[in-house]
Structure 1
Amino acid sequence: MTAPRFTPPKHASYDVILIGGAMYGSSVAWWLTHLGFDGRILVVERDSSYSMCSTAHTNSCIRQQFSNEINVRISQFGADFVQNMRRHMGDDPEVPNLPIQSFGYMYLAETQAQADNLAQAQQVQADCGAGTRHMTAAEIKADYPFYNVDDIIAGNHNLIDEGYFDGGTVFDWFRKKARANGVEYVANEVVGLTLNPESTQVTGVTMATGQTVACGTVVNAAGPRAATVAAMAGIPLPVEPRKRFTFIFAAAERLDRDLPLTIDPSGVHMRSDGLYYMAGCPPDDDMAVDADDFAPDHGIWENKVWPVLAHRVPQFERIKLVNEWVGHYAYNTLDQNAILGPHPEVSNFIFVNGFSGHGLQQAPAIGRGTAEMIMHRGYRSLDLTSFHFDRIAQGAGFVEKAII
């Protein structure tokens, strides 16, 4: 492996330094410029190819099927942003509006407790204007005859603004527009943070190329490496890299309609993917891994995923694996939800971490909210204070039952 080719920043000080330049670093950077922030902004990205970041390995899905209202609202804004990106980005005719392939999520319940949770979540979603239906097994079978629902009690499904979108293009435009608006991007790695004597402010950010640059605000947008960055400021952060496996397969007998993004009670999920189908899951031993560990586990396909696919969709007994990859969740071990806002003691250290698989779909709303927090010390759109770091320090988890 060749050594990274890093470049130094152009200036000795910046008003905002974002550590990590993938979806969240670029979203926050663009929103800052879009909302009128007139300070100097630096984005530091250790992998300028972005080939190993979570953004590059995402399955690019969006859903309103959460059990907590704020998560529903965040994704509703995300759906609006994706489909009206040109308007949000100043009516630039080069910016595309992107479709959402709205085959929807299909959550399946095999126990009464699971069915009750789905019914409660559906009511929360309906109160927010989402189109989720709570369905009996017979209703599921009528709409999607290919499912085996012999062991299913109920399900939730939503065909409105829920499914797959082109997350890579959203990221490209966040980054492109941020740079066009004057944000400086450097290929470099943050190796240290300097705090003032009272440990209440980060005063300097040290690069792998040797420079220490002064900062007004530091944003931790380091994805699965977020805990390493937080530790540089003396802050413990319960975020770790965890592997997630994705498989692309062809079916000898194609289904006669789209396969919703099906959340099987086993923990395996599956969906249509153009001419093919996609499936994924966590490992059975879901533990932290090294941030550079993307080694596959071929036994997961044979022993875990394929048997579930064939059970839930009998036509998938004859399938062929076409491609596979491993990505990382930036996994919040406390409650699997975002960690946002300023640190209560190191007040200019801002978190956008711990999304645990929800990050891409939440990036438009949370990028906007984080920019608002930096500029105004408060939110002007959605109130995201439920996700603030304070709950981490108190060990008080944010309750969200719809975790994949």
Structure 2
Amino acid sequence: MSSRVVIVGGGVIGSSIAYFLRLSDPTVSVTVIERDPTYARSSSALSAASIRQQFSTPLSVQMSLFGIEFLRSIGERLAVDGTQPSIDLHEGGYLFLATSAGAGTLRENHALQQRLGADISLLDTAALQARFPWLNTDDLAAGAFGESGEGWFDGYGLVQALRKKAQALGARYVADDVAALQRDGSRVTEVVTASGERYVCDVVVNAAGAWSRRVAQMLDIDLPVYARRRSIFNVSSPAQLEHCPLLIDPTGVYFRPEGKSFICGTSPAADNDPDDLPLDEVDHALFDDVIWPTLANRVPQFEALRVQNCWSGYYEYNVFDQNAIIGRHPEVDNCIFANGFSGHGLQQGPATGRGVSELILHGRYTTLDLSALNFARVLEKRPFVEKNVV
């Protein structure tokens, strides 16, 4: 058991860890160092904020099954002084579409998801047309739709609710930047901030999101996580799309309702996805050349679109296998990593917070075993392959 835990980063991942630590053991001292308490540039606040069970690996499905359970009960779990937070969870479902080339994989994934208890329906072309008559199904062979347990929510509201509850449970939040990690052999002894404060620690957690690579470098550790910009566009349209889910086109372009408008986006091509692009810029060419034409093809009513607003946020992108790295590094006994979620951080945050707290308090996972996501797989070049990366 460790009595002094310092968490670098207070977004959804860091705040979830702080919450579960203090909830599980109020004797543990928890300090969260977050350089921007407004979260203006954090992935937690800038993402499309959604949750799904439609993954291809059992662990990813199980993490999100706990995630939706947590989000559904957030009012009770994260209430402070009788006030229950709301994150406007809307279980509108994901709709993954596949052409004949991808239909086999979709069916395999669906069988796995059903076996684990996810409420997903596999739809043929006729069923897709019947349920979503506004959809162009000419080139489609199948679709998978989340009947429940999938949808979208207020990501900024979630991080604020976790932070406030963690503070109410006794976690201390410090508005500062980490400048150095002092190491003695295989252990981190102190966290030093830009203001010169020093925090002695028994355990340090790297939950610094898109900036986690810089924190790892302070320990001479090569963390394959980079800040990759993703642009999101809020568009208005006269389209009337009844029962509209979060739709994933076979091309990777996605859209979902956002009030009376829609938000949409896609990842850029792998050969045009550099690191650390400025967040105050938006990739308008990607919208004009890829997103809009794809949407207009898939939903003919989307030929009339107008961009109302747009912004960019960072994926903390794990270039090794696009999955989270959770656990200790073999060379540093008391440093735990929780990084590289590659767009899945909000939905996997609750399971990560619970798991990392177990690892700190008990030395092992006691509920869901997250060891397949450990750092050793990176060093041993054993990728944890998830087919449904969006």
Which TM bucket (shorter chain)? over 0.9
Are 1:224 and 1:328, in contact at CA under 8 Å, matched by a contact in 2?
A: yes
Deviations, residues 294-344 of structure 1 (Å, cap 9, x unaligned): 411222221111111100000000111111111110001111111001111
Aligned partner letter, 1:271? R
Distance 1:288 1:202, change over 3 A: farther
The CA distance in 2 between the partners of 1:382 and 1:90, in whole Å, is 25
| Residue 170 (1) aligns with residue 158 (2) | yes
The CA distance in 1 between the partners of 2:78 and 2:342, in whole Å, is 27
TM-score normalised by length of structure 1: 0.92
The CA distance in 2 between the partners of 1:215 and 1:109, in whole Å, is 49
Distance 1:55 1:97, change over 3 A: closer
The CA distance in 1 between the partners of 2:238 and 2:157, in whole Å, is 31
| Residue 65 (1) aligns with residue 51 (2) | no
* Residue number in structure 1 paired with 2:14: 25
Deviations, residues 275-312 of structure 1 (Å, cap 9, x unaligned): 11111112234423227544112222211111111000
Are 1:243 and 1:286, in contact at CA under 8 Å, matched by a contact in 2?
A: no
- The alpha carbon displacement at 1:354 in A equals 0.4
Are 1:240 and 1:288, in contact at CA under 8 Å, matched by a contact in 2?
A: no
Structure 2 gaps of 5+ residues are none
Distance 1:172 1:293, change over 3 A: closer
* Residue number in structure 2 paired with 1:236: 222
Are 1:83 and 1:99, in contact at CA under 8 Å, matched by a contact in 2?
A: no
From 204, 213, 225, the counterpart of 1:218:
204
From 245, 248, 251, the counterpart of 1:263:
248
- The alpha carbon displacement at 1:259 in A equals 1.9
* Residue number in structure 2 paired with 1:4: none
Aligned partner letter, 1:162? E
* Residue number in structure 2 paired with 1:275: 260
* Residue number in structure 1 paired with 2:274: 288
Distance 1:321 1:376, change over 3 A: same
Deviations, residues 48-106 of structure 1 (Å, cap 9, x unaligned): 22100111101110000011111111111111111112333479631246553222111
| Residue 189 (1) aligns with residue 177 (2) | yes
TM-score normalised by length of structure 2: 0.95
The CA distance in 2 between the partners of 1:286 and 1:101, in whole Å, is 33
Are 1:37 and 1:375, in contact at CA under 8 Å, matched by a contact in 2?
A: no
Aligned partner letter, 2:381? G
The CA distance in 1 between the partners of 2:239 and 2:57, in whole Å, is 38
Are 1:43 and 1:185, in contact at CA under 8 Å, matched by a contact in 2?
A: yes
The CA distance in 2 between the partners of 1:165 and 1:220, in whole Å, is 25
**Aligned-pair identity (%):** 40
The CA distance in 1 between the partners of 2:174 and 2:126, in whole Å, is 55
- The alpha carbon displacement at 1:211 in A equals 2.8
The CA distance in 2 between the partners of 1:124 and 1:78, in whole Å, is 18
From 147, 150, 169, the counterpart of 1:159:
147
Deviations, residues 142-196 of structure 1 (Å, cap 9, x unaligned): 1101111111111111121111122322211210011112211111111111111
Aligned partner letter, 1:298? H
| Residue 148 (1) aligns with residue 136 (2) | yes
Distance 1:123 1:282, change over 3 A: same
| Residue 48 (1) aligns with residue 37 (2) | yes
* Residue number in structure 2 paired with 1:77: 66
* Residue number in structure 2 paired with 1:118: 106
* Residue number in structure 2 paired with 1:325: 311
Partner of 1:26: helix, strand, or coil?
helix
The CA distance in 2 between the partners of 1:108 and 1:179, in whole Å, is 42
Aligned partner letter, 2:238? A
Are 1:86 and 1:92, in contact at CA under 8 Å, matched by a contact in 2?
A: no
The CA distance in 1 between the partners of 2:328 and 2:286, in whole Å, is 39
From 325, 342, 353, the counterpart of 1:367:
353
Structure 1 gaps of 5+ residues are 1-13
The CA distance in 1 between the partners of 2:307 and 2:86, in whole Å, is 32
Deviations, residues 245-297 of structure 1 (Å, cap 9, x unaligned): 11111112322x13211111112101111111111112234423227544112
Partner of 1:202: helix, strand, or coil?
strand
* Residue number in structure 1 paired with 2:91: 102
